[in-house]
Amino acid sequence: MADVMREILKDPSGKVKRGSEEAKDMFSVTKEYHEVKPAYPSITVLAVEIVRKQLLKEIKTTVKGVSGLHGSTSSSRSGGRRQLSWKDINEKTPKTVQVIFEEHMPLGTYIISTLVTPEAIGPNIVAKRKMRPYKLTSAEILSDIAYCRTPYARLLPVTRGILYFACGAQHTLFQYSSRVGHTPSWNTTVATLKRLAKLDGEFIRTLGTAPNRAPMMRTDNIQQYLKRREMRMGKTNQMKIGMSAMVNEIEDFNPIAFDLDDKLKRIRESKRRELTTEKLLDMIDGDHSICVGVLQWLQVLVNYIPQLEKMKGEITKLYRTEGAKIPLPRKRKTAIYPLATVAKNENITTEFRDALLDFLSQIGQHDSHFNRRLVLVGGDGLTYERLLQIKSYLGSQDNELRRFDLIEPFLENWHTGWTQLSLTFESHWGEPLTKDPSKLGHSASKIGQKKPVNVKKVDYYPAAYMAYIVLDVRMVDCWRILFGVEDIFSYFDELAQNNALPTLDELKIHAEVLYRRYSTQRAYEYALNGHNPDAGVHSIPRGAAWVPSPTENSSSQSARAPAKKAKDKGRPLLQTDTYTGDMSLANSIMFIHDTMLSREFSQAVADGDPGRVYEAFKRMMFCFAGSSHTKYTAYTLETICNLELESSPELKDAILRNMLINPSGEPGRYVEGDLHIEHLNLELEEMIAHKDSAWDGTHIRDVVAPNISRFVTLKNTFREGVGLGKRRGKHPTPHSKPEVKILLQTYKEEDLHKFRKGRTYGSNEDGTSINTFGLGHKQIQETPQQ
C-alpha cells in the first residue's frame, strides 16, 4: 500500500497545478483527508494527520513524570509528584534533556533536527557544525514545547532560570523569557530556590545530628557599602555588616576524635606550662624541611631548563612520596553547603555570640537538643581570636552549648600564608633607590615592578608573582654558579646535543648542596660573619674583590659605633674596613630561605598535603615572632599548643585531614577554606548590591546565601554542558622571559651569590634584623611564660 501511494504521488497526472483550488488543500491542517477529493492533496492531508497524532502521542509520553523532565526527587509534601533537586541542575542538564527527547520523542527530534540542519552544499559533502549544534538546538526547542504544554516538564527551563538568577539577570529578561516559555517567572524561580535551600538545610541538620557523620564549619565577616541615589528618611548610605558561614562533611569521620570529655580533660592537664622554646623547635621535622627544600631546588631547575622538562612528572611523584606527610586523595571533591547569613558584627561580643548560636542551630545544635561532641569552627586570624575570646568569656554559662565548649576553633591557612608573604616584603624590600642587589626592591625596579602601597600588607597575587619570580631567578643563578658556567641555558643545550644530560639522581645531589649553601640558617650565619673555607657543603665560591663606592665608604669610616647610637634596637653599625662577612650575600640567602617557605606553604595547599602545610606553619610561627606581625605569633602558637598538647591523636589527625578543601574535585586544586569563603562572600556582596535587602532579610538569608555555592558552580561549569570551553577563573599568565633575562644578568654582574668579603651597601643594620626566624626564636625564649 505504501508503494501504491508513493506511485500516486510520483504520477505527474495526479499533481495539482500551482495556484489552483486543489493546491490550497495540500498539507491542509484545517480539513480531514476524506473531505479532499483529489488523491494527491488527500494523501498529504492524511500524512499531516498521521504525523500530528504521532507527535501528540510522543509529547504526552515525554511530559510524564517518569521521563525525567519533572525531576528525580519525590516528596510527600508534593503529593508524590516528582520535583527537581540540585543533582538535576548542573552542566549535564542539556545533555540529559537531549537524551530524554531522543528516547521518548524520536519523530519530533528527527523533524526538528532536520529543520535546523542546513542542506549539504554538494554530493557526499557534509558540513561540520561548529556553532549552534543541531542536537542541542533541537533539545532546547522541544524543551520549550514541553514546558508550554505542562509546567511540570521544567527541567531545562528551571535550570535556565536559575542560571539567569545567578548571573544577576534583570526582571525584564525574566518577564520576556517566562512569557515565551523559555524560563519560569521570577517569582517561580525564587520559590524554587527557596525550596532547594530548604532541602540543603534539612541535609545539613541531618549531618549535624547523625552519630556517624559530622560537619565542620568556617565563618567570616561580610560587609557591603550601599550608596543611595536618593536620600529619604530611613534610606541613607550605610555599611551593611553581617556574617556568613559554610559547612562541609568531615572526611574519614572518627567519633573518638570528637569526644568532648576527652578534650576538656586534656585542657585541665595544663601541659602548656611545660612548653619551652626548644620543645617548639623539636616539633619541627627537620628532615622533612630538608627534603622539600631540596625538591624545590630541583623543581626550579626543571621548570626553567627545557631539556629537563621530562623530569617534571618524576619530581611531582617525589613530592607525593618522599616529601609527603599527609597526602589527601588527588581527586577528592568537597561538597560545600553555605549557611544562611546573619546581620551580626563579629567585633561586638554579644552579636558574635548570637551569630554562632544561629549557625549552630542551622546544623541541628539547639538549647533543647545538642550532641555532646566537638564542632570544628575555623576562620581567619580575627575570627579565630574572637572564637578563643568568647569561649573564655562564657565559661560560666549553663551548658556546653552556651559555654561554646562544643566549638573547637582552628586557624585557617590562606590569611596565614598571606601574612608570611607580607613579612617577606617587609623584611627584604630595602630602602628606596637602594643599590643592594640582594634587596627585593632593587630586583623589582629592574623588571619594572612597583613598590606595594603597604609592604606590611601586600596585595597577595601581584606580590606572590614578584617574590616568586625573583626567587626563581636567584635559584637559577645559584645553579649556574654550581655548574661553573656563564650561561646555564646554553650549557644545558650543549649537554642535550651531546646526550650528556645529568640524571635526576645526580641533580638531586647537587640540589642538596645548593639547599645547604644558599637557603639555611647556617649558610646565612656563615655569609654574614665571614666566609669559612672549612664549611664543607656550606662553602660558597669567592667572587671578585669588593671595592665599596665612595658613598658607601664615607658612611662607614670609623670603627664600630657605640651601640647606643645605632638604629634598630641598639645593634652596632657595620664598617667596611673591619667587616669580614658579605651582608648582601647573607641577605639574599635569607630572602631565599623566607620565600621558599612561603612557596612551600602555597604549593602544599594546592597539592592537598595538610601535613606539609602544618610543617611550614610551625616554622612560620618563629618568623612571625621576629617580625611586626605579632598577632599571628599568638594565633599560630595557640594552634600548635592546641594540636600538640590539648588534642588527642585522633582529633589532631581529623583537623589536619580536613584542613583543606577541593570544591572542584580536580588534582592540584585544593584550596584553603578561608579563601573559598572569601570568594563566596564576593558573590554575596554582589547579590546584595542588586537587591535592597539585609543580610538577615528573607531574600538574602533564605534564597541567595544557602544557594550561593551552587550559583558559583553553575556559572563556572554550565558552559561545558553545551560544548563551550570551561570558564577560566583567571587570565592566562604571560611568560616572564624578559624578566628572567634581566635579573639573571644583574645577579651575574653583581656576583650576588658569590662571597665578596666586606660587601655592604651603607646599611645602618648589622644584618640580623632580616633573620625573622632567628629573632623569633630569641623573642620567644626571652618572653616570660604566662
* Confidence (pLDDT) at 557: 39
CA pseudo-torsion sign 521, 527, 533, 536:
positive
- For 137-184, the DSSP string reads HHHHHHHHHHHHH-TT--HHHHHHHHHHHHTT--HHHHHHHHHTTSS-
Indicate if the pLDDT at residue 110 is higher than 50: yes
Query: Pick from 772, 751, 759, 762: which is nearest to 531 by CA?
Result: 759
Q: What is the pLDDT of residue 570?
A: 36
For residue 689, pLDDT beyond 90 = no
Alpha-carbon distance of 604 to 620, in angstroms, equals 14
Domain-wise residue ranges, the chain: 1-62, 74-119+131-178, 415-622+739-782
pLDDT band at 737 (very low <50, low <70, confident <90, very high): confident
Query: What would the pLDDT profile of 667-684 be if each residue is shown by its tens digit?
Result: 989 999 999 999 999 999
How far are the Cα atoms of 59, 323, 332, 636, 669 from residue 604, in angstroms, in the given order? 54, 10, 16, 18, 11
pLDDT at 554 > cutoff 50 = no
Question: What pLDDT band is residue 237 in, cutting at 50, 70 and 90?
Answer: confident
Compute the distance between CA of residue 695 and CA of residue 342 in angstroms, rounded to an integer.
5
For residue 429, pLDDT beyond 90:
yes
pLDDT at 18: 77
Q: How confident is the model at residue 575 (pLDDT cuts 50, 70, 90)?
A: low
- DSSP letters, 642-689, are HHHHSS-HHHHHHHHHTSEE-SS--TT--EEHHHHHHHHHHHHHHHHH
β-strands 671-672, 660-661: how paired? antiparallel
Closest CA to 316 of 303, 332, 331, 333: 303
Mean local confidence (pLDDT), 19-25: 76
Is residue 125 helix, strand or coil? strand
Q: What is the pLDDT of residue 321?
A: 94
The rounded distance, in Å, linking the Cα atoms of 59 and 779 is: 78
The percent of residues in the chain predicted with pLDDT above 90, rounded, is: 67
More confident site: 239 or 340: 340
Rg (CA), the chain: 34
pLDDT of residue 785: 56
How far apart are alpha carbons 738 and 744 in whole angstroms? 10
Please give the pLDDT value at position 4: 84
Three-state DSSP class for 428? Answer: helix
Residue 88 pLDDT class (50, 70, 90 cuts):
very high
pLDDT per position as a tens digit, 498-542: 999 999 999 999 999 999 999 999 999 999 888 666 666 678 888
Q: Is 774 exposed, middle or buried (0-12, 13-18, 19+ CB in 10 A)?
A: middle
**What's phi and psi for 522, nearest 5 deg?**
-65, -40
Check pLDDT > 90 for residue 301: yes
For 743-783, the pLDDT digits (tens) are 999 999 999 999 999 898 875 455 567 899 999 999 888 87
- How much is the average pLDDT of 339-358? 94
The predicted model gives 37-46 an average pLDDT of 84
What pLDDT, on the 0 to 100 scale, is given for residue 560?
A: 35
pLDDT reading at 565 higher than 50:
no
Average pLDDT over residues 708-735: 78
Asked if 443 and 746 touch (Cβ cutoff 8 Å), the reply is yes
Cα–Cα dist 623/618, whole Å: 9
User: Does position 550 have pLDDT exceeding 80, yes or no?
Assistant: no
Higher pLDDT, 112 or 81: 112
Specify whether the CB–CB gap between 588 and 388 falls below 8 A: no
Residue 127's pLDDT is: 64
Residue 11: pLDDT band with limits 50, 70, 90: confident
d(CA 704, CA 204): 17
State residue 767's pLDDT score: 57
The pLDDT assigned to 687 comes to 86
What's the confidence (pLDDT) of residue 551? 56
Q: What is the pLDDT of residues 136-190, one digit of tens each?
A: 899 999 999 999 999 999 999 999 999 999 998 989 999 999 999 999 999 999 9
**pLDDT of 359-391, one tens digit each?**
999 999 998 889 999 999 999 999 999 999 999
Distance CA 641, CA 190 (A): 47
Query: In which band, very low, low, confident or very high, does the pLDDT at 37 lie, cut at 50, 70 and 90?
Result: confident
pLDDT reading at 288 higher than 80: yes
Residues 761 and 587 sit within 8 Å (Cβ to Cβ): no
DSSP one-letter code for 534: T
Q: Lowest-pLDDT range, 35-39, 289-293, 576-580?
A: 576-580
How far apart are the two ends of the chain, measured CA to CA in Å?
102
Q: What's the chain's average pLDDT? A: 88
pLDDT in tens, 381-421: 999 999 999 999 998 888 899 999 999 999 999 999 999 99
Nearest to 100 by CA among 53, 148, 138: 138
Q: Please report the pLDDT score of residue 735 as a whole number.
A: 76
